[in-house]
A and B are shown apart, each in its own frame.
Chain A
């Protein structure tokens, strides 16, 4: 049987999400190397990360082998990703709202993944025991996820409006984003309560998607259809907005705040520096020789009538 319009929208939403996220990833990773701007503690500094020290604490550090710890980096990364550690430490009242919201979203993402696994097990590989485990995990993740995310989202909206410190800095689109998510969650709750209390239809919907066959599609109620459409639109919308900060966060930490890679003669870093300092300077202030390269500007500074450097 051919695929239905809702299935087509679901495929499109997922594809657009992946493509836009990937293109953003490419955009950020292809940016030029910047000057070092790390911020301590840098968690991969072996033996020093507890107090925020760096390899620069050693005499002749550039001659010595670097001692780094992946475990330190992973610990910091996961405590931030999974527990939002910094908000917990520095803004606890907000954490009680943002944590259920984010944890709920993680559980909903896990729920999607489990639905996918369940679909594969229904269509392509039959492992009844595993299917049973997945079935129960779907119940747990889906139930806790949607309740936590909805409560967190409502809390964040209330906080956004009641806290002037936040409201005064908030643009219309940021309010819209929160309400958009809330509407998707509320239609999800309505669908769950009125139509699909055991996520049976959700599993069937995913089975149809996995099999590329609309014969498996359940008959959806209007609220379920509205929910699927809104959910697909949200998937399409997220990567275009700053709700995709999960991408940015990788780069802010790994490529800026923890980037302490040393430049030594013959290194890749030196080759990049050489290339970048050949770029022409477009700036217009009096002390800049506009159009000359960074190197020319830095090394061949014009001299005044006394033979002294001019700037």
Chain B
């Protein structure tokens, strides 16, 4: 049924354009090729349909009750959308992405070369609504019809068929949250058209003009980050308490107390972690502290609001929120008089502050920013710490966060470390800049409301799960512990939920963690293993 869907069907009056079942999805490798190995997919609750946009595939990413109740509300929504679209096409409104957006709207040849690069489209069993060009073509047709002279004069002949109603907009907005912005599709385009960018711009239009965005990204994300200090809700006092707890924990584990530097003026490095690490994986900041202290690096953490959380969810949906958080990070680093900001294991935070915000920061709010990966590799390369790779003699594979590899070119340092410290390291295929997203990219990992996690686990992370099973196919025996090294908090979140959804830790002893944990695990001076084989 879904193969018959066309871009103009976005306006269709039907309740739900696509209904997914497990049988539609691409098959997984053994042992998940047998029936009953994964849960059935569920229908949205009837009451959700009244308030939320379930019209695309029944899943809800935008957990706001924004469905228009009557004709007036529908007209207001359409008017507001068109206002936003016009702003998206101006220098004032969108200098940030005007040129890339217009190039992508204007030059797509509709050759569909990009489709097979998309893990969501492929693993969904090639559902048309997840094709990179589907949502892009809807926006392109609206743009042509309403914003270009040719479209206004020649109508459908030039723009293609599209009707602009509430259904179109609800499906367009939701479909922008069925793309992880991994931009794998863009790598394959012979013209350089960027359908990932179009998803980003659709999200932005809805957020910056209408205030419509998933709560996890906006209200509980960037707004909470700026207001409270972290998108996790962690306060400055809270983070100080956790740091003390981490110091105790380090002492328990390595028999030595390390004083974690906090707000130390004049340190060389301000290290910023994704605050999710403090709450969900405190062993990660602990491992950083051990490595940096043992390597004699001058560093500090910040306990000031915003600066103890490296995340910047603005990068996924709102340029202003991106700029606000990036500016705050830089401002606090300058106040601490450090030489540079170093981002911990968080992919999107890497890209947000290092690459994207590179053209936001200027004058007093400029400061050098870099990835933690080159520094970690220097620790190994220059033998600042003694490591024994035999301590990591178990199967390890590396998940490449898209933001770190394809979107900023940090590819080799992390694998050089693994080649040196993990004797059973094996790559996933494909990897590096051609990797597949974990399925949690662009905010999906933290969007936990209503039925969205089901879609993420069943569809968005499916390709990653397939890759993991293939990487470990020679050692699936549950008596062998296996480690997915995912140097990114959001990826870890997605992988945690993936392993739980498919019960892969219980069934196959597949676990996950960061890179620094493996490094500390290999330290000669440590008597007990640092990596704990338990699912959390």
**Which positions in A face B, CB cutoff 8 Å?**
28, 31-42, 45, 48, 51-62, 80, 84-87, 89-91, 94, 98, 163-166, 168-174, 176, 242, 245, 248-249, 251-253, 255-257, 260, 262-265, 269-270, 272-274, 276-277, 279-288, 294, 297-299, 301, 304, 308-311
Do residues B187 and A39 form an inter-chain contact, with CB atoms below 8 A? yes
A297: B residues at CB distance < 8 A: 320, 323-324
Q: Check A171–B359 contact: CB distance below 8 A.
A: no
* Residue in A48, A91, A301 whose beta carbon sits within 8 Å of that of B113 in the complex: A91
A-B CB proximity, top 3 nearest = A54-B409, A252-B192, A52-B433
B473 near A: Cβ within 8 Å? no
Q: Is B223 engaged at the interface, CB distance under 8 Å to the other chain?
A: yes
Query: How near does chain A come to B447, taking the closest CB pair, in angstroms?
Result: 19
15 pairs, A vs B, C-beta closer than 8 Å: A32-B99, A40-B433, A56-B355, A56-B408, A170-B160, A176-B157, A248-B106, A257-B194, A263-B362, A270-B363, A272-B359, A283-B209, A287-B223, A288-B208, A298-B360
Give residues 157-171 of B contacting A (CB, 8 Å).
157-160
- Chain B residues near A40: list those with CB within 8 A: 405-409, 411, 433
Chain A binder among B70-78, B83-91, B258-266, B497-505: B83-91
A33 touches B324 (CB 8 A): no
Closest B residue, CB atoms, query A254? B192
Cα A270 to Cα B362 in complex, Å, equals: 6
Min C-beta distance of B136 to chain A, whole Å: 9
Chain A residue nearest to B373 in the complex (CB): A57
Residues of A within 8 A of B96 (CB): 34-35
Given A33-B359, A257-B186, the answer on whether A57 and B107 have CB atoms closer than 8 Å is: no
Apart from A31-B91, A169-B6, A174-B110, 14 more pairs, CB < 8 Å:
A38-B355, A38-B407, A39-B187, A40-B406, A53-B412, A91-B111, A94-B113, A169-B133, A248-B191, A248-B192, A256-B99, A256-B103, A277-B362, A308-B228
Indicate the member of A253, A274, A276, A309 with the most B CB atoms within 10 Å.
A309
The answer to whether A171 and B160 have CB atoms under 8 Å apart is yes
Cβ-closest chain A residue relative to B415: A51
Chain A residues within an 8 Å CB radius of B103: 28, 248, 251-252, 256
Name the residue of chain B whose CB is nearest to the CB of A159.
B111
B324 CB contacts on chain A under 8 angstroms: 297-298, 301, 309, 311
Bound-complex Cα distance A298 to B96 (A): 14
Q: Check A294 against B363 for contact (C-beta < 8 Å).
A: no
Question: Considering the chains assembled together, what is the distance between the CA atoms of A283 and B205 in angstroms?
Answer: 9
Cα distance, A294 to B322, chains bound together (Å): 11
> How far apart sit A177 and B287, CA to CA, in the bound complex (Å)?
61
Q: A87-B190, A276-B95, A298-B360 are in contact. Are A56 and B371 (CB under 8 A)?
A: yes
Identify the closest chain B residue to A280 (Cβ): B92
Tell me, in angstroms, the Cα distance from A42 to B117 when the chains sit together. Answer: 18
B226 / chain A contacts, CB cutoff of 8 Å: 301, 308-311
Please encode chain B, from 122 to 152, with 1 for each CB lying within 8 Å of some chain A CB and 0 for all others.
0000000000010001000100100000000
CB distance from A36 to the nearest CB of B (A): 5
A53 CB to closest chain B CB (Å) equals: 5
Complex-state Cα separation, A287 to B213, whole angstroms: 12
Report yes or no: A52 in contact with B406, Cβ–Cβ below 8 A.
Answer: yes
A256 to B356, CA, bound (A): 12
Query: Chain A residues with Cβ under 8 A from B434's Cβ?
Result: 52
**Known: A31-B99, A39-B187, A165-B112. Is A256-B194 also a contact (CB below 8 A)?**
yes
- Are B91 and A308 within 8 A (Cβ)? no
Given contacts A36-B359, A165-B115, A298-B324, contact A56 B409 (CB under 8 A): yes
- A258 smallest CB distance to B (angstroms): 9
Cβ-based interface call for B256 (8 A): no
- The complex places the Cα of A91 from the Cα of B115 at a distance, in Å, of 10
Contacts of B133 in A (CB 8 A): 169
CA distance A31 to B94 in the complex (A): 11
Compute how far the CA of A248 lies from the CA of B97 in the bound complex, rounded to whole angstroms: 15
Q: How far is the CB of A93 from chain B (nearest CB, A)?
A: 11
> Bound complex: CA of A128 vs CA of B323, how far in Å?
66
Beta-carbon contact of A310 and B209 below 8 Å: no
Partner of B211, one of A57, A59, A285: A285
Contact present for A32 and B408 (CB under 8 Å): no
B446 at the interface (CB under 8 A from A): no
**Nearest-Cβ distance from residue A193 to partner chain B, whole angstroms:** 31
Instruction: For the complex formed, measure the closest distance between the CB of A57 and the CB atoms of chain B, giving whole angstroms.
Output: 6
**Contact partners of A28 in chain B: CB under 8 A:** 99, 103
Bound complex: CA of A309 vs CA of B340, how far in Å?
Answer: 25
Q: Give the Cβ gap from B3 to chain A, nearest Cβ, in Å.
A: 7
Q: Tell me the smallest distance from the CB of A62 to a CB of chain B, in Å.
A: 5
Does the CB pair A284–B362 fall under 8 Å?
Answer: no
Q: Determine which of B183, B188, B211, B360 lies in contact with A286 in the assembled complex, contact meaning CB atoms within 8 Å.
A: B211
The answer to whether B366 and A308 touch across the interface, beta carbons within 8 angstroms, is: no
In the assembled complex, the CB of B376 is this many whole angstroms from the nearest CB of chain A, namely 10
CA gap between A252 and B102 in the complex, in Å: 10
| B23 within 8 A of partner (CB) | no
Nearest Cβ on chain A to B100's Cβ, whole angstroms: 5
> Do A282 and B409 touch across chains, with their CB atoms under 8 A apart?
no
Q: In whole Å, how far is B370's beta carbon from the nearest beta carbon of chain A?
A: 7
Do A53 and B410 touch across chains, with their CB atoms under 8 A apart?
Answer: yes
Contact in complex: A274, B363 (CB < 8 Å): yes
Contact B192 A257 (CB under 8 A): yes
| A311-B359 CB under 8 A given contacts A39-B187, A252-B191 | no
